[in-house]
Structure 1
């Protein structure tokens, strides 16, 4: 069903009308032709029998009547012959050509003499009449069909106009908009029922969306305060209370979990803000400068060698804060999963940026690498949201993220390559 060719409603209705009317017109024309042909043949035969009777009556008073060839021929014969009705071709001296005639011949005894009487009627004239009638009929039907087709098309367009207007409004409607959906009224009961149900549905969906949005924002905001308090209390214990090694390990683990939870909460807030369209300040951002700032920050945190092999100027129009998140998540992902003492390559091309880090093997499910909460790493600081945020940002602006793995021919390691194409 997915591959079925789609067609507009009015085109579908017009096509159905066109096909149905054409079939009816063809069958009507054939039926008219056959019925008129049978009627004309019966009339010709009836006329032939009538003319034969007239000739027989004339022969009673005029036994030497010869007829009027080729329409009527009278011959004296010795033996009686049965009546025969058939078609024949005869040369007509008046027309100077061979014509098709319908012929009736038979004998009749008059005054003791057998006469063979042959009467004929020209078939061509009746055929011309037949074709003229059928052609006239089809011409009238065709004119009526064209008139009804355009009348039906314009009538359907006017009839469905409220539906198409409302369909355009529904397509343009967004649950993020504060303006409620308003639909064009119609005097058709079914359209009116549809409008009512659609308005009820969109109103409920909009209310649910607003409630969920408010709930997400409230929860994310309220979580920050207790997490910060918990972290501050643990730091106080570290600095002011004498604790043993076991307690230190437990508190340090708890602090790391809190830090991870705060990081997870921040990333969920970013995803929610992208969904809520809260990044509406696009500007031209130098991807080269932005990534180099991020690389400097990571160099301060860890002794990692970053290499830039291609450095074409790359400028993209997007929200700067989202561009910062995009760069941070890509570099952070590369740093987390890079092999020790191996460089990370960052390359800038005309329409794309490429981050390459080393790895032992390809991902087991590379098609899921950008899915939310998907991760193959066992590291505790991996939330499974970094690359999903990258994908969300790319979807928001129409960018194309991709992942590939290349095995190194020289060593047993390989290279994970993440690429963002900034063109549609």
Structure 2
């Protein structure tokens, strides 16, 4: 998953990169354009000087030179005009300098002359560089000013959005607090505020309706199930029934108990989803495990072995802690034979429950899905481990499963991420 960037940082980076690119491109363009203009100007001066020298020779018939700027000499080898850059020694500077040189050949008064005029271009390069540096300096100063002005302006412009975002982060369906969003003079932000408030009200109403529906269904199911159970008990106690009828009635009782359990677990899952368990206490898991072991022993499950390496205490809802331990132990019992040992180990922040298994599960990745059963012969509701996973997710506990040395091993790390 890619790293997320804040909106202001994103827009500032875009402005920054765009500005730097603009400064570089404009400086390069200015440098080459200025160099071209200065070069053209130098060449124009060279042609002007050459023309004046030719006129002077024509009028006065005087051959003169001013090295290295002007050189005039008679020649018998007439060539084409040459315009080039050259490096020659400048006596006035006592060093080698870069010149722009124009060499022309002209017949003046019947005599062929080679007229060479030069102009120093070092100063032109320095001038172009100075112009570019000045341009960059002005751009950088203007850019820094605009950058901070733009950032400050954006922060002020987006302030209602960020405040409303914080409000949305704290929004809870279980809370009765009204969602008070900040209005903005920006049309889109104002419309977003209105839509969010409308959506939040609708979601809250739907949540309340669903919550009420779940509670009503759960409550209404309990009454007919209790009545059916009572009537079956009356039939068994008040009437003589055959062995076949007894088996059928017993099967019906088991189905009723399973339906009661299913209803209870669905209700528990719904309440967890709705964040209705908000009471946090320090629960002594070690004591809770001992209580559960005693309860299961009374039901003739005497193969539970508890090895507490350290006492285990966790901050969570007491009712959910009871469900968590009960479902894990019940799951191990359901998938074990009567005499097989079930081992429970607790460390400072770790719970491990293991039971014997003949083979690895076919689809271990589906273990914590609702209504998933590894075997069709298993009569469980398929919700026990789903509730365990939901409780762990609620408190950010890490639950894991592995098959190792003929053992199905479930472990819960109670250290929050």
TM range (shorter): over 0.9
The answer to whether the 8 A contact 1:288-1:311 is kept is: no
CA distance in 2, matches of 1:261, 1:98: 104
- Provide the secondary structure at the position in 2 that maps to 1:254: helix
Cα offsets for 1:26-68 (capped at 9, x unmatched): 2222222222222112211111222222223333554345232
* 1:384-399 alignment runs, 5 A limit: 384-399=382-397
Aligned CA distance change for structure 1 residues 123 and 251 (closer, same or farther; 3 Å): same
- Provide the secondary structure at the position in 2 that maps to 1:67: coil
CA distance in 2, matches of 1:394, 1:80: 99
Q: Do residues 317 (structure 1) and 315 (structure 2) align? A: yes
Partner of residue 132 from structure 1, selected from 119, 127, 130: 130
CA displacement at 1:9 relative to structure 2: 2.1
1:410 equivalent in structure 2:
none
CA displacement at 1:85 relative to structure 2: 2.5
* Runs of at least 4 residues off by over 6 Å: none
Q: Do residues 197 (structure 1) and 195 (structure 2) align? A: yes
CA distance in 2, matches of 1:183, 1:328: 44
Cα offsets for 1:211-233 (capped at 9, x unmatched): 00000011111211221122112
Aligned CA distance change for structure 1 residues 110 and 252 (closer, same or farther; 3 Å): closer
CA displacement at 1:294 relative to structure 2: 0.6
- Provide the secondary structure at the position in 1 that maps to 2:175: coil
CA displacement at 1:247 relative to structure 2: 2.5
Q: Do residues 423 (structure 1) and 415 (structure 2) align? A: yes
The answer to whether the 8 A contact 1:77-1:115 is kept is: yes
CA distance in 2, matches of 1:131, 1:344: 85
Query: Structure 2 stretches of 5 or more lacking a match?
Result: none
The two structures have a TM-score, normalised by structure 2, of 0.93
CA displacement at 1:310 relative to structure 2: 4.1
Number of equivalences: 416
CA displacement at 1:111 relative to structure 2: 4.9
CA displacement at 1:339 relative to structure 2: 1.5
Larger mean CA deviation between 235-244 and 60-69 belongs to 60-69
CA distance in 2, matches of 1:397, 1:131: 66
Aligned CA distance change for structure 1 residues 236 and 70 (closer, same or farther; 3 Å): same
* 1:145-184 alignment runs, 5 A limit: 145-184=143-182
Query: Structure 1 stretches of 5 or more lacking a match?
Result: 408-413
* 1:318-337 alignment runs, 5 A limit: 318-337=316-335
* 1:25-424 alignment runs, 5 A limit: 25-60=23-58, 62-77=60-75, 82-378=80-376, 381-407=379-405, 414-424=406-416
Larger mean CA deviation between 299-308 and 204-213 belongs to 299-308
Aligned CA distance change for structure 1 residues 338 and 118 (closer, same or farther; 3 Å): same
Aligned CA distance change for structure 1 residues 41 and 260 (closer, same or farther; 3 Å): same
Cα offsets for 1:367-390 (capped at 9, x unmatched): 111211111245575111111111
Aligned CA distance change for structure 1 residues 62 and 274 (closer, same or farther; 3 Å): same
CA RMSD of aligned residues (A): 2.2
- Provide the secondary structure at the position in 2 that maps to 1:403: strand
The answer to whether the 8 A contact 1:180-1:203 is kept is: no
The answer to whether the 8 A contact 2:84-2:102 is kept is: yes
The answer to whether the 8 A contact 2:174-2:276 is kept is: no
CA distance in 1, matches of 2:341, 2:260: 29
